[in-house]
Amino acid sequence: MTSVSDISARQTARQHRIILAIVLLAWLVVVVIAGGRGVFEAGPARPPLPVFIAVALPPVLFALLYRASRHVREFALSLDLRLVTAMQAWRIGGTMFLVLYSFGMLPGLFAWPAGIGDVAVGLAAPFVLQAMNVERRGWERYLFWHNIAGLADFAGAIATGVLSSNSAIGFFASAAPTVSMGLLPLSLIPTFAVPLWIILHMISLIRLRRIRAGI
């Protein structure tokens, strides 16, 4: 027999999913409109500040809301850690950077570390997930380093992307024309996909810390 608490928990979970869907859709719409208007496009006379803000703001907001809001905290902690880990498998899409590089559309300084790093994290995700499913000895360590590798990959990709960009700090920009990560559709990667995956890494590390603490 279903208890009142079970019904309430399901209703709360449903409300959280609806709110999450609305937030993600609104976020996507904003960055699509901004990308279409060239907001994230840098130039030789200015640093890529809008892209930095777009990458950093969502994870910072999540961290603040996690500490300030019980509902955000409960929702984050209710997410299936296996699902959060499995979503990192989508990072194999980083092969796109290498494909664009092969056509001379992206600089190698950015494409190689970003592409190989994403593919490595994406390919490792199923193995980490398998270790979690069978509770293999040391799975917490595998998960920890998988998250650290994923965050390090983003840090490296952002750094090399900026240094090879057509911006005021693009010290290694190529003279040959390349596609811009500040314009649609590629602008969705640093303004939506990257910060979303960073938040997933944050949730995974939070959950892992609580598991290790026995909470």
* pLDDT tens sequence across 112-135: 999 999 999 999 999 999 999 998
**Nearest Cα residue to 114 out of 194, 24, 34:** 194
Q: Looking at the DSSP assignment, which residues form a beta bridge with residue 46?
A: 43
- Residue 191: both structure tokens together: 């303004």
Average confidence (pLDDT) over 146-171: 89
Going by C-alpha positions, the residue among 117, 124, 56, 135 that lies closest to residue 85 is 124
Q: In the predicted model, what is the mean pLDDT of residues 150-160?
A: 95
What does the mean pLDDT of the chain come to? 89
Is pLDDT at 43 greater than 90 in this prediction? Answer: no
The pLDDT of residue 85 is above 60: yes
- 43 forms beta bridges with 46
Domain that holds residue 53: 4-212
For residues 142 and 128, the answer to whether their CB atoms sit within 8 Å is yes
Number of structural domains found in the chain: 1
Question: Is pLDDT at 207 greater than 70 in this prediction?
Answer: yes
Residue 173, pLDDT > 90, answer no
Q: Which residue has the tokens 């290498």?
A: 98
Q: What is the mean pLDDT of residues 25-39?
A: 94
- Alpha helix positions (H), 103-190: 108-133, 139-163, 188
Alpha-carbon distance of 59 to 36, in angstroms, equals 23
Mean pLDDT for 140-163 is 95
Confidence (pTM): 0.91
> What is d(CA 209, CA 99) in angstroms, rounded to the nearest whole number?
37
Tell me phi and psi for residue 213, to 5 degrees. Answer: -85, -5
pLDDT for position 41: 84
Residue 108: which of 119, 117, 97, 118 has the closest Cα? 97
Closest by CA to 167, choosing from 43, 53, 51, is 43
- Examine the pLDDT at 97 and tell me if it is beyond 70: yes
